[in-house]
Structure 1
């Protein structure tokens, strides 16, 4: 812990806050008692998040899908007053079941387990977080015994997480350990990094933005996580600060939440599932996009937000215009990488390997 604290101070120039001994012991005891994360998701995912999120901050209503009729009299999404407010989520694709035979992966066939099976294996702890489509709980496994069950098709999110969690796994992607289905919802049993928080809250505690050195360390890990997904044929489609966990004692970053994901394909996508402020201009203009190109765009938005303390675009007109206003003091290399990722022409954006070899990324330290 002392070594990690020194590393944190060296990277960001900030001091790790020391908590009271009793609080630390209590948190450590809770982690030991509940070493897993349980993500409870509804099988019928709503088209958008509620107008108010779990943290009580107002959220603009999302736009309807391009495939749905639009009421011209209805107001569009309003611009958030707080530029650091969590962005507006839009989910324009229903969470269909992914059948193993369509994916060509025998390993995607998994056991569907009942609630009785789940309760016999796990003890549920406290709620750690809640979103519009589910909640996350701490959990303790009662034993390591496995129970037989019927083989069935998988919910898409489960299938994608199984693909990216297969050995050799990636330390920058949160691992799926097990899953259960009960009625209208399914439960994902995930590894639990500790101590950790999501990147959005981590940045907030550091004053709303980070210096380039810390941003570089975060981005290297994010790019490696996305590259692992790409190599496994998975498109995450919602890479943003809220979907990244930071382990605060060693700055290890993990990509989470594949609820907006899909199988990666070479053909164009005609439905967008993700966060409005991160969607690429080609989707806004024509309603189609390539998964690889859209991923690079989202990485540019993420990096801009890390070093500037706000998102570059808050509405469709901003995305189309593509004008960037950088904070003073940023290096030429950092601004160059952001501009490359946020090219209006998707074919001119770099690939993941080019990002890793960029001058700004070259001096980074992977933890």
Structure 2
């Protein structure tokens, strides 16, 4: 999600106006709302005074008789997904484009929790996943649901709070760590490159996140400085991984032919084929390159063709070479890199 989480904005709130449409019995909307918790029953759905109606109505001055004089029964009318979204969240200014969609600032009305609201046009949702019940759901949602179920509360990936699958778009509501900026903004604010010592702190956490994803059989596919979030704490920083729009479930032996990420591994140029592990290692090397060098890493740049700066330590140079080797079989694995001398 990158810079969209950490963009500085003014205090003027900009509301997005939604038209609330009441669903009638004749309508059969295709929109579906999915949440991390169980889908509520009809009598548990959100309702307001504007969405209730009395069964004891009067028409043309005629009153219908009832057997008892107890309280008038009311029927709760379920809100459609756009109205449910509006009832629960307030959307504010746009933070910026991200991947295949746009991201807005916002907050949850019940507790003012800051959130990032990601809008993805439906035709841009390119990867789908079939769940155990045979339902097709967006791959990004499936991956983040798995992460939510199997990760610690304060894990590296950003938390998915809600999602709304509409006719025209997919809306993801994500927890927005604050204060935080993406790694590209962080590097720029530091003058365009980081000291090796600081880069090492960030890379340790990024390596831990990458290994965690691999153990959960998740292939991010687009690790880059824009998709690494630096969250500030009083006792230091926490690295988080964002934007799972190109992610998928992967096994160690799986190979892929279509590459949609940013840092394309050399083997794809040569063989039109790549695997999750070596590609992730290559992308982590590109992130380290961007932290230490002023030029932005490009897909056609290989470390062995670059002039390294004299103040890089020998172990740092070795780490970079191990990540950016043209031959994927010669790159170290994620676990081997985590145990590398440079990260100790």
Q: Same fold (TM over 0.5)?
A: yes
CA contact (8 A) 1:124 1:138 kept: yes
Superposed, 1:301-312 pairs within 5 Å as 301-312=286-297
CA contact (8 A) 2:36 2:162 kept: no
CA contact (8 A) 2:304 2:321 kept: no
2:319 equivalent to 1:337 = yes
For 2:256, the equivalent position in structure 1 comes to 269
CA contact (8 A) 1:110 1:152 kept: no
Q: Normalising to structure 2: TM-score of the pair?
A: 0.67
For 2:69, the equivalent position in structure 1 comes to none
Cα distance change on mapping 1:344 and 1:314 into 2, 3 Å = closer
Deviation at 1:162, TM superposition (A): 1.2
Deviation at 1:328, TM superposition (A): 2.1
Deviation at 1:124, TM superposition (A): 1.2
- Distance in 1 separating the partners of 2:335 and 2:162: 32
CA contact (8 A) 2:281 2:333 kept: yes
Of the candidates 68, 87, 92, which is equivalent to residue 125 of structure 1? 92
2:237 equivalent to 1:254 = no
Q: Unaligned regions of 5+ residues in structure 2, if any?
A: 1-7, 16-34, 41-79, 112-133
Cα distance change on mapping 1:219 and 1:260 into 2, 3 Å = same
2:101 equivalent to 1:134 = yes
How well do the aligned residues superpose, as a CA RMSD in angstroms? 3.0
Superposed, 1:342-361 pairs within 5 Å as 342-361=324-343
2:226 equivalent to 1:226 = no
Cα distance change on mapping 1:110 and 1:225 into 2, 3 Å = farther
CA contact (8 A) 2:282 2:323 kept: yes
Deviation at 1:192, TM superposition (A): 1.1
Per-residue displacement from partner, 1:16-38 (whole Å, max 9, x unpaired)? Answer: xxxxxxx99x87x99xxx9xxxx
| Counterpart secondary structure, 1:299 | helix
Deviation at 1:233, TM superposition (A): 1.1
- Distance in 1 separating the partners of 2:148 and 2:294: 32
Per-residue displacement from partner, 1:240-274 (whole Å, max 9, x unpaired)? Answer: 00001112343211100011111112221011010
- Distance in 2 separating the partners of 1:253 and 1:132: 20
| Counterpart secondary structure, 1:252 | strand
2:191 equivalent to 1:207 = yes
CA contact (8 A) 1:337 1:355 kept: yes
Deviation at 1:312, TM superposition (A): 4.5
| Counterpart secondary structure, 1:166 | helix
Q: Larger Rg: 1 or 2?
A: 2
Aligned length: 253
| Counterpart secondary structure, 1:189 | strand
CA contact (8 A) 2:221 2:246 kept: yes
CA contact (8 A) 2:231 2:237 kept: yes
Deviation at 1:111, TM superposition (A): 5.7
| Counterpart secondary structure, 1:172 | coil
Q: Normalising to structure 1: TM-score of the pair?
A: 0.63
For 1:177, the equivalent position in structure 2 comes to 161
- Distance in 1 separating the partners of 2:39 and 2:228: 28
Cα distance change on mapping 1:338 and 1:185 into 2, 3 Å = same
| Counterpart secondary structure, 1:298 | helix
| Counterpart secondary structure, 1:294 | helix
Per-residue displacement from partner, 1:325-350 (whole Å, max 9, x unpaired)? Answer: 21221111100000011122211211
Cα distance change on mapping 1:289 and 1:173 into 2, 3 Å = same
Deviation at 1:182, TM superposition (A): 1.7
